[in-house]
Amino acid sequence: MTRMTERREIAITVPVLARVEGEGALDLQVRDGRIERLLLKIYEPPRLFEKMLEGRAYTEVPDMVARICGICPVAYQMSAARAIESAFGTRVTPWVEAMRRLFYCGEWIESHALHIHLLALPDFLGFPSVIAMAEKYPDEVRRGLMLQGVGNDLIRFLGGRSVHPVGARIGGFHHAPAEAEARSLRAKVEAALPQAEALARWCASLPVPDDAQEFECVSLADGDNYPVMGERIVSSRGLDIGLAGFEQEFEEWQVAHSTALHCLHRGKPYLVGPLARMNLHFERLPQGVRQLAVETGVVWPSANMFHSLTARAVEIVFALREAIALLTSYASTAAPFVAVTPRAGISYGATEAPRGLLWHRYELDASGTVMNARIVPPTSQNQARIEEDLRMSLMRMGFGHPDSELRLRAETVIRNYDPCISCATHFLKLKVERA
């Protein structure tokens, strides 16, 4: 006698303003309470930035790559600049190095503040959007917008504007701001620091799922510094390589069910981003920031991906403190950049974008024209990890819940990675097949 099983297929479209850009869907096939198939389908049109860089002069690259992301343009500019300078054998001045770190602090602050308040907190507090959340938590939302504004001001200080900044160039910056401007900005950053410390404590106090998992953490290393930029790639499983070794260790490929690329390390998913950085480099945080992280009650390193919320908040505090120190010692200069001499070569550059390791490779001819470019963003590196996290989190939650609850958990998991994927103008379409 053949036992008949019932299969139910449900398709749900969320007709609300998305908190992640684009459109995506999650297909689940469940049998006897276990996931047999999980496909996170991301739909985004090809943007062809790597191809558009071919035939362009090296001088054009910083402004072009800034357009890849409106939230983290600094990461793209700095990764590109460091790669091209490496090809030319260019050594920038200590002033340029310090200002690049300050520039980057602004991006971490504004990006993390945006993600925490506009994307993540509505999930953890049970609201469909930050607009609804603001009715009950108006002060917290104002605090988030203030912190984002401070980050934008730091980017504008060196970049000329906060979105797609134009102040960076190969060899440094086009302009050195006046010292009076630095003093004014420092006062604003100092006023924001207590608010950021309160934010970190508040984020850590919020109830999050107890969802420990095993995963490899990957980030840059920068000697004794907490990494913002660096020349080596390390992991929690013993990896320690130069930037040129990325292509031998990591494999990026196109999956059939999504236009978003996936990336594996030695055949397995891995994590990049704030939690990976905190797990790998906790002891490299300044003592005051490290003490705050301990006081949150989170045990570092953490195997719970939902502690990314607190990690982002702690990194805001770190970036504010870094910015204060750099602005305190700021001195204007008549030489905000060094001259560069083009030469042919293949070179690599990487920095820690807010969402994690961002790796660039350029092939240049003798005039400095780009012959070939490859850019591996943090989102493609996290994509396989997101699918693995979805599988484990939904299995742990169980499938006896309504599909609306399953959808919310899936959205919360995905948004927790702060992905820069075009994944949800109508996010998330959930299709569950239960057999």
pLDDT tens profile 106-161: 999 999 999 999 889 998 898 988 999 999 999 999 999 999 999 999 999 999 99
The answer to whether residue 393 sits within a structural domain is no
Instruction: Establish how many alpha carbons lie within 13 A of residue 163's alpha carbon, considering only the half-sphere containing its beta carbon.
Output: 4
> Residue 5 pLDDT > 80, yes or no?
no
Phi, psi for residue 228 in degrees, rounded to 5: -115, -40
Residue 429 has pLDDT above 60, yes or no: yes
Question: What distance in Å separates the CA atoms of residue 402 and residue 387, rounded to the nearest whole number?
Answer: 21
Tens of pLDDT, residues 229-282: 999 999 999 999 999 999 999 998 888 887 778 899 999 999 999 999 999 999
On whether residue 433 sits in a domain, the answer given is: no
| In the block, residue with structure tokens 């630095």 | 182
Number of domains in the chain: 1
11 located within any domain: no
Encode burial over 145-183: b for 16+ CB neighbours within 10 A, e otherwise: bbbbbbbbbbbbbbbbebebbebbbbbbbeebbeeeebe
- pLDDT for 226-242, tens place per residue? 999 999 999 999 999 99
Alpha helices in 239-371 (DSSP H): 246-249, 274-281, 287-295, 308-328
Classified as helix, coil or strand, 129 is coil
Q: In the structure, what pLDDT confidence band is assigned to residue 408 with cuts at 50, 70 and 90?
A: confident
Tokens of 341: 């001499």
Span 10-32, pLDDT tens digits: 333 332 234 445 567 888 888 88
C-alpha closest to that of 115 among 346, 356, 336: 356
The CATH number of residue 376's host domain is: 1.10.645.10
In a domain, 57, yes or no: yes
How buried is 303 (Cβ within 10 angstroms: 0-12 exposed, 13-18 middle, 19+ buried)? middle
Strand partners for 218 = 235
Neighbours of 37 (CB within 10 A): 12
Residue 428 within a domain = no
- Three-class DSSP category at 135: helix
**What tokens were used for 140?**
């917290």
How would residue 432 be classed by pLDDT, with cut points 50, 70 and 90? confident
Asked whether residue 332 is domain-assigned, the answer is yes
In a domain, 299, yes or no: yes
**Token pair 């049970």: residue:** 126
Q: Which two tokens stand for residue 212?
A: 């420990």
Q: Is residue 2 part of a domain?
A: no
Residues 6 or more apart from 400 whose CB is under 8 A from it? Answer: none
pLDDT tens-digit series, residues 332-386: 999 999 999 999 999 999 999 999 999 999 999 999 999 999 999 998 899 999 9
Task: Evaluate whether 16 touches 128 at the Cβ level (below 8 Å).
Answer: yes
Length of the chain: 435
Domain limits at 203?
49-381
